[in-house]
């Protein structure tokens, strides 16, 4: 069971690096206070690469939280 813990810690580190890189890849919005409530993207929406990066970021964030929960609640112990 020790090997599973260390594999999950490695996967968690990899997911953290991927999440940081994906967040840095997002285009700057420059919407300021207009972004509150989502009014700024109400009429324009997201298209192309930005929508793809958003989707991948959400997937990586969910995987990060899932692995973090498994490690944090102690389902896999060192």
Instruction: Report pLDDT for 66.
Output: 97
Contact criterion met (CB below 8 Å) for 57 and 19: yes
pTM of the model: 0.76
pLDDT on residue 2: 85
Q: What pLDDT, on a 0 to 100 scale, did the predictor assign at position 13? A: 98
Q: Mean pLDDT per segment of 10 residues, for the chain of length 78 residues?
A: 91 98 84 58 66 93 97 91
pLDDT at 50: 83
Cβ density class 53-68: b for 16+ within 10 Å, e for less: beeebeebeebbeebe
């Amino acid at each position: 069971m020790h090997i599973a813990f260390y594999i999950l810690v490695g996967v968690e580190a990899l997911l953290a690096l991927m999440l940081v890189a994906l967040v840095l890849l997002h285009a700057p919005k420059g919407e300021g206070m207009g972004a509150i409530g989502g009014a700024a993207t109400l009429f324009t929406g997201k298209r192309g690469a930005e929508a793809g990066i958003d989707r991948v970021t959400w997937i990586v964030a969910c995987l990060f939280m899932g692995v973090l929960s498994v490690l944090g609640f102690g389902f896999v112990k060192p």
